């Protein structure tokens, strides 16, 4: 999963934190968003594509799906090499060289194209396959909103740890560091919990393009657990070529949605004929719907194998409960959430740290 962020600065485990706390780090800071999971006021958006699946009972965070661009990169790269060697170079040679000499060198261009295309395919596919193997081994964190619990499954031991939703730690990181390419700003969102017996970190972090988007990534989880969103469509990037009833993975429907949107933009005059020509030419070169079919095939294979990685107790824990057995939020969370909403309505421009601290003080919650 390309957006995972294992190298971001880590939260401090030696002391307790709550939503609104901040921690200074070299070149930036960490802001804690839970516990308790209070509303941040940001829209619930999963721009990192970290949420792989959800239904009325549970949400999977951190699994991920193969994307169409991976196969477009492979098929497009191969076709560009082959077409360049079989059409462009021979055409140039026939313009610059005598016909008999150009015909003699055509064989070299032909085999260069075939062998070069094969080499590009093998190298690109190897990288893609390594990424797919990581996806097949990954076990997402599962959020069960009916039980108000979060399940971590350790990949190596298959041990499961069930964490109360209101005890889960969440944070966003903004950090600046010097690299060989200059000073870079990083943002990320993470969730985690200290193992009750070993104290070992159970966590997952994702990079984000900016601090508001990192907070929105957490807000998507919080809003789902508090029954404020009910579908993947509600938390995904509104600019993605995705239909409301599409499956959670990408596939042929992704490409068809993109073409439909392109035709709509052309009809509205948002893009001109030159842009549209090259857009369609690119999709022809990467073999039209083939990347979508290949991506869908990989996703369905992944959907069959991933549930087998989970212990049986997790599958049992994931089953829906009768509504009268649904867990309820704590009285403290209900009071603080109402106070946070009221304070935000009074002054929506205040920072979440100020609003949370004020809510704690007014509700008499000790630090």
Instruction: Report the pLDDT value the prediction gives residue 110, as an integer from 0 to 100.
Output: 85
Categorize the per-residue pLDDT at 10 as very low, low, confident or very high, splitting at 50, 70 and 90: low
Closest alpha carbon to 6 in 293, 201, 159, 258: 201
Categorize the per-residue pLDDT at 165 as very low, low, confident or very high, splitting at 50, 70 and 90: very high
Residue 14 has pLDDT above 70, yes or no: no
Q: Which two tokens stand for residue 26?
A: 């070299």
Convert 125-162 to b/e letters by CB count within 10 Å (16 or more is b): eeebeebbeebeebbbbbbbbbbbbbbbbeeeeeebbe
Which of 7-21, 31-45, 54-68 shows the lowest mean pLDDT across its residues?
A: 7-21
Is the backbone of residue 155 left (phi > 0), alpha (psi -120 to 50) or beta?
A: alpha
| Euclidean distance between CA atoms 43 and 40, whole angstroms | 9
Instruction: Report the pLDDT value the prediction gives residue 206, as an integer from 0 to 100.
Output: 86
CB 143 within 8 A of CB 296: no
Which phi and psi angles does 203 have, rounded to 5°?
A: -155, 165
Closest alpha carbon to 146 in 69, 47, 59: 59
Q: What is the pLDDT of residues 174-226, one digit of tens each?
A: 887 655 556 678 888 999 888 767 777 788 888 888 899 999 999 999 999 99
Categorize the per-residue pLDDT at 21 as very low, low, confident or very high, splitting at 50, 70 and 90: confident
Residue 2 has pLDDT above 50, yes or no: no
Convert 260-269 to b/e letters by CB count within 10 Å (16 or more is b): eebeeeeeee
| Euclidean distance between CA atoms 5 and 76, whole angstroms | 28
CB 69 within 8 A of CB 255: no
> What's the pTM?
0.83
Q: Which two tokens stand for residue 292?
A: 């979508």
Instruction: Report the pLDDT value the prediction gives residue 8, as an integer from 0 to 100.
Output: 63
């Amino acid at each position: 999963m390309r957006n995972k962020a294992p190298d971001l600065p880590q939260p401090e485990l030696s002391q307790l934190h709550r939503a609104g706390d901040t921690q200074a780090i070299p070149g930036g800071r960490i802001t804690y968003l839970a516990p308790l999971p209070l509303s941040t006021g940001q829209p619930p958006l999963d721009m990192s594509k970290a949420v792989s699946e959800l239904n009325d009972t549970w949400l999977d965070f951190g699994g991920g799906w193969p994307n169409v661009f991976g196969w477009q990169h492979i098929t497009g790269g191969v076709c560009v090499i082959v077409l360049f060697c079989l059409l462009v170079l021979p055409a140039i040679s026939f313009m610059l060289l005598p016909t008999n000499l150009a015909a003699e060198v055509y064989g070299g261009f032909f085999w260069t194209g075939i062998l070069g295309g094969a080499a590009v395919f093998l190298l690109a596919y190897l990288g893609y396959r390594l990424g797919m193997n990581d996806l097949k081994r990954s076990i997402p964190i599962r959020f069960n909103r009916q039980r108000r619990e979060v399940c971590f499954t350790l990949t190596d031991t298959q041990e499961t740890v069930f964490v109360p939703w209101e005890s889960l730690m969440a944070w966003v990181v903004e950090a600046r560091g010097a690299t060989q390419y200059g000073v870079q700003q990083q943002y990320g969102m993470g969730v985690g919990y200290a193992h009750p017996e070993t104290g070992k970190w159970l966590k997952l972090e994702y990079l984000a393009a900016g601090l508001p988007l990192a907070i929105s990534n957490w807000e998507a989880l919080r809003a789902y657990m508090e029954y404020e969103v009910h579908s993947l469509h509600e938390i995904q990037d509104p600019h993605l070529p995705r239909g409301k009833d599409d499956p959670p993975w990408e596939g042929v429907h992704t490409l068809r949605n993109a073409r439909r949107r392109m035709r709509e933009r052309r009809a509205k005059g948002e893009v001109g004929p030159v842009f549209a020509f090259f857009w369609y030419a690119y999709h022809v070169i990467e073999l039209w719907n083939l990347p979508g079919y290949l991506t869908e095939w990989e996703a369905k294979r992944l959907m069959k194998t991933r549930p087998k990685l989970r212990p049986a107790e997790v599958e049992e824990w994931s089953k829906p409960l009768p509504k009268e057995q649904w867990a309820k939020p704590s009285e403290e969370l209900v009071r603080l959430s109402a106070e946070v909403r009221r304070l935000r309505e009074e002054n929506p421009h205040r920072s979440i740290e100020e609003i949370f601290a004020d809510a704690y003080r007014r509700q008499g919650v000790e630090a």
